[in-house]
Amino acid sequence: MKLKTMNKTTRSNMITYAMVIIAFVIVQIMLGTGNISSRLQGQLVPICAYIVMAISLNLTVGVLGELSLGHAGFMSAGAFSGIVVASCLSQNTSNEILVLVLSMLVGGVVAAIVGVIVGVPVLRLSGDYLAIVTLAFGEIIKGIVNNLYVGLDGSGLHISLIKNTLQMDGGKVLINGPMGLTGIPRIASFTVGFILIMVCLFVIFNLVNSKSGRAIMALRDNKIAAQSVGINITNYKLMAFVISAAMAGMAGVLFAANFSTVVASKFDFNTSILILVFVVLGGLGNMRGSIIAATVLTVLPEVLRSFSDYRMLVYAVVLIVMMLATNNPTLKNGLNLAWSKIAGLFRKNTEKGEQANV
Amino acid sequence: MSFLSNLISGISLGSVYAIIALGYTMVYGIAKMLNFAHGDVIMVGAYICFFATMRYGMHPIIGVLLSMIVCTLLGIVIDRLAYKPLRQAPALAVLITAIGMSYFLQNSAQLLWTSSPKVFQSVIGNGSIKLFDGALSISYVTLVTIVVCIVIMIGLVLFVNKTKIGKSMRAVSEDKGAAQLMGINVNTTISLTFAIGSALAAIAGVLLCSAYPTLTPTTGAMPGIKAFTAAVFGGIGSIPGALIGGILLGIIEIFAKAYITTQLSDAIVFAVLIVVLIVKPTGLLGKKISEKV
């Protein structure tokens, strides 16, 4: 298929796929030739996880149009359930990829179930009230996981809440309350992260271009009009919300499997906000923007590490200035004008150059 | 007796939440934005008071006044620099800017005052009143917090309902365009709302740190979120709603800690919030907004 004959959406989607693939290939080459700092190397899997988080949240915020402030809660639910499965499986099999894929599936399913439990009451609300309830659910999930104890021994899994009352003969503790997940099999790899991104992109692009996707976007643009043409609001809202939650769960498993210990408070309100920042900076409903924003904003604090003390301050200033520059009419027009002048300058130069050549 | 003592400390904690929630609810009512940086203004207020009274030995009242003045100015500056240019922008853009402002304040505080916790000595004194032959003791901090909250609440309701500025605030929250046509300066009114909210945040910061004396650059974050939920709980945009929401939230939190479990108290608070919002989707005192086609 030729690039020019495709319709606009398909072309845009193809560019996004191509961008991810090219980025993957470049990083692989850099890894092969050793041109990548060890610190950045450690960031590769988290970047993949954050990208999946960003595009999945973009499905809720950008495509469905509902603000969610508790996306990290789904990541947490997925991460903790998935890693428990991974720990159990890795005792019986040594095939890391298989273990990772299975645990990701379990994490995704658990997060989807949590998504249904959260979504059914939450999606009746709208606007800021919905936002605050998602925030509340995120905090509840964090609170519960923070007090969860899970152990594994010969006779199976032991679970207790609030107090550590696990009665185990030998075996090992998998989730140790506030200490979080311990002894995680570190099975995450950059390649699996890349595949997860591609799969999620594929699902989202196809969803958005389907009948359901158009229904979801119609809901976002005008709820009453959508309702009057017979779109079932609750079903479609729940559908987008649950798919988004399942992806967040899978990203959580990927994220957790990159570290040997993960605490529940890692997935708190601040993480939800961080992901939301990726989505808004990248552009609502724009998956490519989310991917770029997630990558740049995860790498930025690492690059700024030489400033160490000032890096989060710079990050905050960048955030505010970016929002002002893209949303304030005066500044935006000024920037556009400046940009067109610079572009005009180059164009003149090249024209002159061409004339000289002639 | 322990029930009564828990109830009183719940009301006291709730009073602090209510004062913070007022700032959220007023700004939301007028500018229709969630000011995420509000929690961090509390922290700044507490730091200013800490340095004024502990480092430079000023009288506590001067310390509180100074921190109120600084926070008021801070609130106006934040509004002018970050929020005013975005009055016409989509709500999410303003939300992200507010989050950026919150990061900015936290990290500035960390640079200026380091992240090591400061021990805040109560500006009110450590004494307590003993009732029922000493079976029930109420600290001065608790009493003063409750009294201050009631005074602020009465003052604010009178201010909003009786004064001309209050009337213009109500007009702006009702309909910005119409208010402007009636000769109300919308930007000044919004700035004034930020100023009042920030001054209240300073008071809340001092009261909060008098009761819970550890002061770090992130001190304001969690109370900020809780007060925000309190504002939604009572019906965001409503001043009496902020009071009721705040106090209920404080009581629920203390009771959950005392009778159920300390570790899950936050989760229980949020669970109650969810139940309330499901039953009454615009909060306890929120107005029902009918949708127009």
* pLDDT tens by residue, A155-188: 666 777 666 666 666 667 777 777 778 777 778 7
Calculate the CA A151 to chain-centre distance. 29
The Cβ of residue B68 has, within 10 Å, a number of other Cβ atoms equal to 22
Is residue A2 assigned to a domain?
no
Split into its structural domains, chain A has a count of 2
Examine the pLDDT at A322 and tell me if it is beyond 70: yes
Q: What ipTM was reported for this prediction? A: 0.80
The Cβ of residue A169 has, within 10 Å, a number of other Cβ atoms equal to 7
Q: Do A315 and B270 touch (CB under 8 A)?
A: no
pLDDT at A358: 46
- Asked if residue A39 lies in contact with residue A303, where contact means CB atoms within 8 angstroms, the answer is no
Distance between CA atoms of residues A104 and A84, nearest Å: 11
All residues of chain A having their beta carbon less than 8 Å from the beta carbon of residue B88 are 329
A205 burial level (CB within 10 Å; 0-12, 13-18, 19+): buried
Q: Chain A window 291-350: which residues touch B at a Cβ cutoff of 8 Å?
A: 309-310, 312-313, 315-317, 319-320, 323-324, 326-331
Q: Are both A336 and A235 inside the same structural domain?
A: no
- Would you call A125 an interface residue with chain B, using a CB distance cutoff of 8 Å? yes
All residues of chain A having their beta carbon less than 8 Å from the beta carbon of residue B288 are none
Q: Are both A163 and A94 inside the same structural domain?
A: yes
Is residue A1 assigned to a domain?
no
Examine the pLDDT at B116 and tell me if it is beyond 70: yes
pLDDT at B199: 92
Q: Is A230 helix (H, G, I), strand (E, B) or coil?
A: coil
Q: Do A128 and B108 touch (CB under 8 A)?
A: no
* Cβ contacts of A92-96, under 8 Å, gap ≥ 24: A96/A185, A96/A187, A96/A189
Tokens of A148: 């969860």
Q: Are both A50 and A99 inside the same structural domain?
A: yes
- Name residue B118's beta-bridge partners: B215
Nearest to B281 among A124, A136, A223 (CB): A124
List the CATH number of the domain containing A168: 1.10.3470
Q: Do B270 and A140 touch (CB under 8 A)?
A: yes
Over residues B171-175, mean pLDDT: 87
- Name residue A150's beta-bridge partners: A159, A175
Distance between CA atoms of residues B99 and B275, nearest Å: 27
All residues of chain A having their beta carbon less than 8 Å from the beta carbon of residue B264 are 143-144, 147, 162
Q: Are both A79 and A192 inside the same structural domain?
A: yes
All residues of chain B having their beta carbon less than 8 Å from the beta carbon of residue A125 are 277-278, 281
Q: Which residue has the tokens 């945009």?
A: B237
Nearest to A147 among B92, B104, B264 (CB): B264
Is residue A323 assigned to a domain?
no
Q: Which residue has the tokens 């995120």?
A: A138
Q: Are both A310 and A219 inside the same structural domain?
A: yes
Q: Taking CB atoms and an 8 Å cut-off, how many pairs form between chains A and B?
A: 127
Calculate the CA B156 to chain-centre distance. 13
Nearest to A313 among B89, B111, B228 (CB): B111
Q: Are both A31 and A129 inside the same structural domain?
A: yes
Q: Is A144 helix (H, G, I), strand (E, B) or coil?
A: helix
Q: Are both A137 and A16 inside the same structural domain?
A: yes
Average pLDDT, chain B: 85
Nearest to A268 by CA among A109, A155, A136: A136
- Would you call A19 an interface residue with chain B, using a CB distance cutoff of 8 Å? no
Is residue A16 assigned to a domain?
yes
Is residue A70 assigned to a domain?
yes
Over residues A39-68, mean pLDDT: 88
Q: Is A79 helix (H, G, I), strand (E, B) or coil?
A: helix
Provide residues of B within 8 Å CB-CB of chain A. Answer: 28, 34, 82, 85-86, 88-90, 92-93, 95-97, 99-101, 103-104, 106-108, 110-111, 225, 228-229, 232, 236, 261, 263-264, 266-267, 270-271, 273-274, 277-278, 281-283, 291, 293
Residues 6+ away with beta carbon under 8 Å from B52 = B58, B62, B63, B66, B67
pLDDT in tens, B87-107: 888 777 888 888 889 989 988
Nearest to A323 among B97, B236, B283 (CB): B97
Over residues A283-287, mean pLDDT: 84
Over residues A340-358, mean pLDDT: 62
A145 — pLDDT class (breaks 50, 70, 90): confident
All residues of chain B having their beta carbon less than 8 Å from the beta carbon of residue A319 are 96-97, 99-100, 103
Over residues B174-194, mean pLDDT: 89
Q: Chain A window 204-233: which residues touch B at a Cβ cutoff of 8 Å?
A: 223-224
Average pLDDT, chain A: 82
Over residues A210-237, mean pLDDT: 88
Q: What is the pTM of this model?
A: 0.82
Percent pLDDT > 90 in chain A is 17
3-state secondary structure chain B: CHHHHHHHHHHHHHHHHHHHHHHHHHHHHHHCCCCCCHHHHHHHHHHHHHHHHHHCCCCHHHHHHHHHHHHHHHHHHHHHHHHHHHCCCCHHHHHHHHHHHHHHHHHHHHHHHCCCCEECCCCCCCCEEEECCCCEEEEHHHHHHHHHHHHHHHHHHHHHHHCHHHHHHHHHHHCHHHHHHCCCCHHHHHHHHHHHHHHHHHHHHHHHHHHCCEECCCCCHHHHHHHHHHHHHHCCCCHHHHHHHHHHHHHHHHHHHHHHCCCCHHHHHHHHHHHHHHHCCCCCCCCCCCCCC
A281 burial level (CB within 10 Å; 0-12, 13-18, 19+): buried
Q: Are both A260 and A333 inside the same structural domain?
A: no
Tokens of A112: 């989807």
Domain that holds residue A55: 8-315
- Asked if residue A251 lies in contact with residue A271, where contact means CB atoms within 8 angstroms, the answer is no
Q: Which residue of B lies nearest to A162 if distances are taken between CA atoms?
A: B263
Examine the pLDDT at B49 and tell me if it is beyond 70: yes
The Cβ of residue B66 has, within 10 Å, a number of other Cβ atoms equal to 19
Distance between CA atoms of residues B70 and B138, nearest Å: 31
Tokens of A283: 């552009």
Q: Which residue of B lies nearest to A125 if distances are taken between CA atoms?
A: B281
Residues in chain A: 358
Q: Are both A256 and A340 inside the same structural domain?
A: no
pLDDT at B177: 87
- Name the minimum distance, in Å, from the CA of B136 to any CA of chain A: 30
Tokens of B162: 């009786």
Nearest to B225 among A269, A324, A331 (CB): A269
Q: Are both A25 and A159 inside the same structural domain?
A: yes
Is residue A322 assigned to a domain?
no
Calculate the CA A217 to chain-centre distance. 20
| Angle at alpha carbon of residue B181, lines to B177 and B183, rounded to 5° | 120
pLDDT at B73: 94
Q: Are both A347 and A304 inside the same structural domain?
A: no
* Half-sphere exposure (Cβ direction) of A59: Cα atoms closer than 13 Å: 31
Phi and psi at residue A173, to the nearest 5° = -85, 125
pLDDT at A304: 72
DSSP A197-229: HHHHHHHHHHHHTSHHHHHHHHHHH-HHHHHHT
Q: Are both A260 and A167 inside the same structural domain?
A: yes
Distance between CA atoms of residues B144 and B204, nearest Å: 12
pLDDT in tens, A235-248: 898 999 999 999 99
Is residue A218 assigned to a domain?
yes
- Name the minimum distance, in Å, from the CA of A244 to any CA of chain B: 19
Is residue A321 assigned to a domain?
no
Over residues B201-222, mean pLDDT: 87
pLDDT in tens, B121-135: 777 766 777 777 666
